[in-house]
Amino acid sequence: MQFELRTQVIEPQRKTFQHLIDRYGDRPASRYEEGTIDLQARVNYHYRPLWDPSKEIYSPDYSALKLTDAYSFVDPRQFYYAPYVTARADLHEAFGATLAYLDKRGMFQRLPAAWSSLFQDVVLPLRHYEAANQMIASGAARYGWGTSITQCFAYAAFDRIGNAQILSRAGISFGGGTAESLDLAKRTWLEDEAFQPLRKHVEEMLVEKDWGVAMVASDVTDRLIYGLFYTALDDAALNAGAASYSLVAQHLSQWFTDQRRWFDALYKAWVSDPELGEANKALLGSIVSTTLATALAALQPVAAKADGLVDAGAAASLATAAEQIVAAFAALGVTVETPAS
């Protein structure tokens, strides 16, 4: 039975759920809001975790970085599941098209020898870096406080496996359809001296129990890595006729632009919190100062390795990226010590 009510308007009893009306007033809510705000339980947990009876199942105390109101942060991308997977389907489809083109035209084989070595020995090992960041972000998605924040972490975690797969698929093509290049890159990650300070830094981030500290450390390291390999070297690659390097790098730098959107909004929420803003600034100052020094020192040998292969000014780009980090945090009112170079 179908009812034709085109001429009759049925007045809704309410425009959305009560918790959204309480927060935003009596207006229709977006799907992002309905699927995000207040989803995580905040009270009346039944049992303490067996793995840490000193804590509740969810608690703001899993990190020193806190917000008075967790939902003062919302994702500027308004990503709930459907738009998230749609955006990523597009990203991976675009990468797939790039890869098909690179394969068809034998582009990896046409890389100048030095850039080929750079891709093999410096960039491909970073797929392990991406995988580690999935674990860091997944931990934060579990222990974080408030769905607007943890949802960003959950999608970021999936993104990192996606990025690792982008690098791995490029590596398989680069290796002529075999896993040889990936195997070689793994050995580099595990054994090459230039990579050991970075791997040590990554393993230490992985065991960091405070999710806020871990995510910020990961972000600072990302800014150096993405700034160097997928932005600065992308330009240099084009100048050097290493088109396939650039064609792969563009998808990763495009992803990082997206990642920055929500992460920068989260920093803003932390530092502008009416009650905890000053405490957060001090905390961020110390986390970023420590991580920046460690990550920069860890990446210098990698940049040196790159400079040994191609003339692209990697060490200088890395230093520039570090300066930009200090400046970006200064703009937020966060004092970061400039690391010794």
Q: Which of residues 141-200 bind another protein (CB under 8 A)?
A: 141-143, 147, 150-151, 153-155, 157-158, 161-162, 164-165, 168-169, 172, 175-180, 182, 186, 189-190, 199-200
The pair of three-digit structure tokens given for residue 244, joined into one six-digit string: 């396939």
**Minimum CB separation from another protein for residue 313, in Å?**
30
Query: 153 and 214 in contact (C-beta within 8 Å)?
Result: no
The pair of three-digit structure tokens given for residue 64, joined into one six-digit string: 């020193």
* Subset of 21-80 contacting another protein (CB under 8 A): 31, 34-35, 38-51, 57-58, 80
Q: Write the binding mask 207 to 226 for another protein: x where contact by CB under 8 A, - elsewhere.
A: x-------------------
For residue 95, count other CB atoms closer than 10 A to its CB.
23
The pair of three-digit structure tokens given for residue 169, joined into one six-digit string: 């698929």
What is the separation of C-alpha 325 from the centre of its chain, rounded to a whole number of angstroms?
Answer: 15
The Cα–Cα gap between 319 and 325 comes to: 10
* Subset of 314-333 contacting another protein (CB under 8 A): none
**Minimum CB separation from another protein for residue 105, in Å?**
19
- 3-state class of 194 per DSSP? helix
**Minimum CB separation from another protein for residue 159, in Å?**
8
The Cα–Cα gap between 66 and 264 comes to: 16
Stretch that binds another protein, among 88-96, 109-117, 257-265, 285-293 (CB under 8 A): 88-96
The Cα–Cα gap between 57 and 76 comes to: 28
* Subset of 278-307 contacting another protein (CB under 8 A): none
CB-based contacts of 214: which residues, under 8 Å, 6+ apart? 136, 139, 140, 205, 206, 208
Query: 245 and 113 in contact (C-beta within 8 Å)?
Result: no
Of the pair 1, 340, the CB lying nearest another protein is at 1
Using a CB cutoff of 8 Å and minimum separation of 24, what contacts does 179-183 make? 181/120, 181/124, 182/124, 182/127
**Minimum CB separation from another protein for residue 84, in Å?**
8
**Minimum CB separation from another protein for residue 24, in Å?**
14
Of the pair 163, 317, the CB lying nearest another protein is at 163
Of the pair 204, 235, the CB lying nearest another protein is at 204
Of the pair 225, 336, the CB lying nearest another protein is at 225
**Minimum CB separation from another protein for residue 237, in Å?**
24
Q: Write the binding mask 120 to 139 for another protein: x where contact by CB under 8 A, - elsewhere.
A: -------xx-xx--xxx-xx
**Total residues at the site for another protein (CB under 8 A)?**
89
**Minimum CB separation from another protein for residue 122, in Å?**
17
Of the pair 31, 105, the CB lying nearest another protein is at 31
Q: How far is residue 295 from each of residues 196, 217, 224, 328, measured CA to CA in Å?
A: 12, 9, 8, 17
* Subset of 241-270 contacting another protein (CB under 8 A): none
